[in-house]
Amino acid sequence: MTSRTLNTTPRADGFWMPAEWAPQQQTWMLWPERPDNWRLGAKPAQQAFINVARAIARFQPVSIGVSAAQYENACLQFAADEGVRVLEISSNDAWMRDVGPTFVRNAAGELRGVDWMFNAWGGLHSGLYFPWDRDDQVARKVLQVEGKDRYRTDFILEGGSIHVDGEGTVLVTEACLLHPNRNPELSRGEIEQRLCDYLSVEKVLWIAEGIYEDETNDHIDNVACFIRPGEIALGWTVDEQDPQFARSKAAYDHLIKQTDAQGRSLKVHKIPVPGPLFITEDEALGVDPVADGMARSAGQRLAGSYINFLFVNGGVIMPKFDDPMDEVAAQLLRDLLPEHEIVQVPGREILLGGGNIHCITQQQPSA
């Protein structure tokens, strides 16, 4: 199979991004290894990623891109795991949601992929690391492996900054998509038009901000997501002194007044956030500081959220943090998604790197 680069748009060709609960062929991941982000040579993070991959593999196949240097290690780790495929795909870090392709499909079931431009969440002025050239190649490589045609965009966007309902609506934050470190030359209306063209949506729902101290400039996938058409799960706290309270309340007050692309009023479900959680001194000391890399310091607040979960076929893979809210959030999702098995996987090591389960995965819909 070959992968062509197309000069049209998904919307023009009759393709759209399916909802994340739609049937999936597999899940894509990347292997963590950079020591300036993942502590202790990334060994604890690698074990966390292994746990996530194995949880997903109970429901569907997993493909993991690994650098040449770590290829043998990853193969050994998954030697006894059925349903996990290890591929040599180099990258600068391990955030498949943001650097991998956004898959789109048409009515006949044909799949293609959107390859967004990537600049490490801010480019040379406020990006999290440099270089990011290998990250920007990941989507193309995945599509070449799968033999799927590719739409390369002319603007910067990460997969974690969008969430769709599969029926014409996309949810985003102003803090991220309107940040001048992404596409300063584009107006809000021009950004909306590109979302409509590449996701085939009819309506863009904006909320102002995401989870407090989210270093991605407030990705939507850490604070709010669709759980079915017309229904949204939103990260929430009842502590009015917490900086997150005003953010979540503003989002809730705004969303309950909105309608989706089909004209439905939105139902918003409040899911508590953990913590607050902070980096410990031992965790900070385990990170190797390097030039042009990330900064991790003791006492730094972590952008913990249970919203950062992954839909799989018949299941939901969600993080837990050894926090009193772990079981509360899990039970709320069980009640909201009775047709899915809720599986909790330790998420602190992933959170220390700046994201969580949804951030390190990318679903490939069934064709």
User: Given 3-state DSSP classes, what are the helix, strand and coil percentages for the chain, each rounded to the nearest 5?
Assistant: 30, 25, 45
Six token digits for residue 115: 């390859």
Cα 29 from Cα 52, distance rounded (Å): 10
Closest CA to 219 of 280, 140, 158: 158
Residue 346, H or E segment? strand 341-346
116, exposed or middle or buried, with CB in 10 Å at 0-12, 13-18, 19+?
buried
SS3 state at 279: coil
Tell me if 142 sits within 8 A of 65, measured CB to CB: yes
Tell me if 112 sits within 8 A of 151, measured CB to CB: yes
359 catalytic residue (yes or no): yes
Tell me if 156 sits within 8 A of 191, measured CB to CB: no
121: alpha, beta or left, given left = phi > 0 and alpha = psi -120 to 50? left
Spatial strand order of the sheet with 315-320 comes to: 310-312, 315-320, 341-346
In the numeric block, the tokens 């293609």 are attached to 112
Cα 247 from Cα 270, distance rounded (Å): 13
Rg (CA), the chain: 19
Catalytic residue among 75, 176, 196, 359: 359
Residues annotated as catalytic (active site), given as ranges: 359
